[in-house]
Amino acid sequence: MSDPLSELNPVTERRAIRVLRPDSPSEAVSLARRFKVPYMAGGTWLQPTHERDQCWPEKLVALNAAWPAFRGLEDDSRGLTVGALTSLSEMARHPLVREYLPPLALFLNRVAGPGVRALGTVGGNLAVGGDLSALAMALDVRVDVLNRTGERTLPLSRWLRERASDDLLRGFTIPDCRGWRISLEKLGYRERFSPTRATLVCVHDGDRVRLAVCGEGGLLRLVAPETFVNDRADLASGDVGAVIDRELAAHGWQDAHLRMALRRMTTGLLSEVALGT
Ligand SMILES: Cc1cc2nc3c(=O)[nH]c(=O)nc-3n(C[C@H](O)[C@H](O)[C@H](O)COP(=O)(O)OP(=O)(O)OC[C@H]3O[C@@H](n4cnc5c(N)ncnc54)[C@H](O)[C@@H]3O)c2cc1C
């Protein structure tokens, strides 16, 4: 008898995808490595992406939020740890988010629509460079990753540079940022689904300003503008615009209008963290 999964579906005109359901994170890593197929968390990014590209994987490795430490938020001496399979809506309404990252609860309501937020995970959002990635970059988040060689904890920026296709993100830890001033703003098309054009994050950790951006030009810690601002005592003064523009252009942000918008956004966010509003 033929395998129904290998036959073309007459309506969709494609083969069914075999969803593998491993019992443990290590089995998930082995399956992803053996079959060279992606992990699936909420599936909210995978589904429209493969639909758009008309190119579907033969198999997917489904992740399981019941695996230890993969879901939920906890704080300890290291800061706030967030399981990768926590949904965006769960994170938005969690009391620890109000304590550590007050502006995030409201901001998350502007990430996609309620259906995507209910299914989509914070780990998936980081993995695809979504809005949370700029915040995570500005906060110097550390990620907890499993792969064939074992487990490791490393800065997000390093993981994104070195990431292997079978790396499984278990969660991430935000340093104790209670009392830090955090402002964030996003720019996108509101009328239809499209990725965010740009999300800018400005953090004042009590000592220094940190700036990060994600969106059309990719995820970037704005190192030169940070230095420029931190070398000046008054955050709200000094023309950081030209430095922002140069940094963005040098890192692939080609749209001059978008860079102009980011210059304005930066000035606004810097004033907010300067005033503590
Ligand atoms: C209509 C719509 C609107 C959206 N609007 C916004 C928006 O305004 N702002 C924004 O930031 N995002 C937006 N998104 C993106 C959304 O945030 C992501 O789709 C979601 O967070 C992805 O999470 P997921 O669990 O569904 O990931 P999946 O779709 O399951 O996976 C996405 C990718 O991440 C990988 N992955 C997932 N989890 C892990 C893990 N634990 N370890 C390793 N790899 C992993 C998968 O292999 C896959 O490559 C939108 C999406 C849609 C469909």
8-state DSSP, 250: H
State the Cα–Cα distance between residues 277 and 265, nearest whole angstrom: 15
Output the pLDDT for position 276.
Answer: 65
169 Cβ below 6 A of ligand 1:
yes
As given in the structure block, the two tokens for residue 260 are 């102009």
Q: Is 276 helix (H, G, I), strand (E, B) or coil?
A: coil
Is the Cβ–Cβ distance between 137 and 156 less than 8 Å?
Answer: yes
Asked whether the whole model's pTM tops 0.85, one would answer yes
39 Cβ below 6 A of ligand 1:
yes
Output the pLDDT for position 32.
Answer: 97
Output the pLDDT for position 136.
Answer: 98
Non-local (6+) Cβ contacts of 87 within 8 A are 42, 117, 118, 119, 120, 121, 122
Question: Could you give all domains of the chain from N- to C-terminal order, each with its CATH number?
Answer: 4-62 (3.30.43), 73-174 (3.30.465.10), 181-275 (3.30.390.50)
Residue nearest to atom 50 of ligand 1 (CA): 112
State the Cα–Cα distance between residues 262 and 39, nearest whole angstrom: 33
120 Cβ below 6 A of ligand 1:
yes
Q: Is 127 helix (H, G, I), strand (E, B) or coil?
A: helix
Output the pLDDT for position 190.
Answer: 62
C-alpha atoms less than 13 angstroms from C-alpha of 23 in its C-beta half-sphere: 0
| Rounded (5°) CA angle 19-25-29 | 70
Q: Rounded to the nearest whole angstrom, what is the distance from the C-alpha of residue 125 to the centroid of ligand 1? A: 4
Return per-residue pLDDT of the chain as tens, 277 residues: 566 666 777 777 777 889 999 999 999 999 999 999 999 999 999 998 888 888 888 999 999 999 999 999 999 999 999 999 999 999 999 999 999 999 999 999 889 899 999 999 999 999 999 999 999 999 999 999 999 999 999 999 999 999 999 999 999 999 999 999 999 999 987 655 667 899 999 999 999 999 999 999 999 999 999 999 998 866 655 588 899 999 999 999 999 999 999 999 999 999 988 766 5
State the Cα–Cα distance between residues 123 and 103, nearest whole angstrom: 19
Output the pLDDT for position 257.
Answer: 96
Please identify, by atom number, the ligand 1 atom nearest to the C-alpha of residue 63: 41
Q: Is 54 helix (H, G, I), strand (E, B) or coil?
A: coil
Output the pLDDT for position 8.
Answer: 74
